Amino acid sequence: MQLVDPRPSRPIPIRITPLIDVVFILLVFFMLTSRLLPTSFLELDNSTAPGQSVDGDPLPELVVEASGQVRWQDQAWALPALMQELRRSQVTEVNLATSGEAQLTDFTRTLTTLKTAGIEPHWQRSAPAQESE
């Protein structure tokens, strides 16, 4: 008399359909419950030591415009002239923003030029334009 059924000779296939369903449900759950928080400034390089307070004057704000010029202190500057003025003013760190119509190439050129000159840029994402009602 045999109490246990003999094992079949061929392997039993593993069904992965329930596993795929569970993974899909988890994916949907995390996509719906997570959210991306907007940030106003994205620091590209942080040289502040832990525990060190940040004092002093506010950082100069540069805005890359659609024309490719950079606005600083209510004046539009060509990039080479702006770099000379920033060196003369001994600026070592700036906030960099873009106007809504600015080209990515102008932003990248400005960012690269600032970093090459030893000026630490912090990129400010501009707020979405509000539609007038």
Got the DSSP string for 62-88? Answer: EEE-TTS-EEETTEEE-HHHHHHHHHH
- The pTM of this model reads 0.52
In DSSP terms, which residues pair with 94 in a beta bridge? Answer: 121
Domain 58-124 CATH (choose: 3.30.70, 2.60.40, 3.30.420, 3.30.950)? 3.30.420
List per-residue pLDDT tens for the chain, 133 residues long: 667 777 767 777 778 888 899 999 999 998 888 766 555 555 555 555 554 445 566 788 888 888 888 988 888 888 888 888 888 888 888 888 888 888 888 888 888 888 888 888 887 665 555 544 4
pLDDT at 22: 92
Give the residue carrying structure tokens 């600015």.
102
Per domain, the residue ranges of the chain are 58-124
- Count other C-beta atoms under 10 Å from residue 67's C-beta: 14
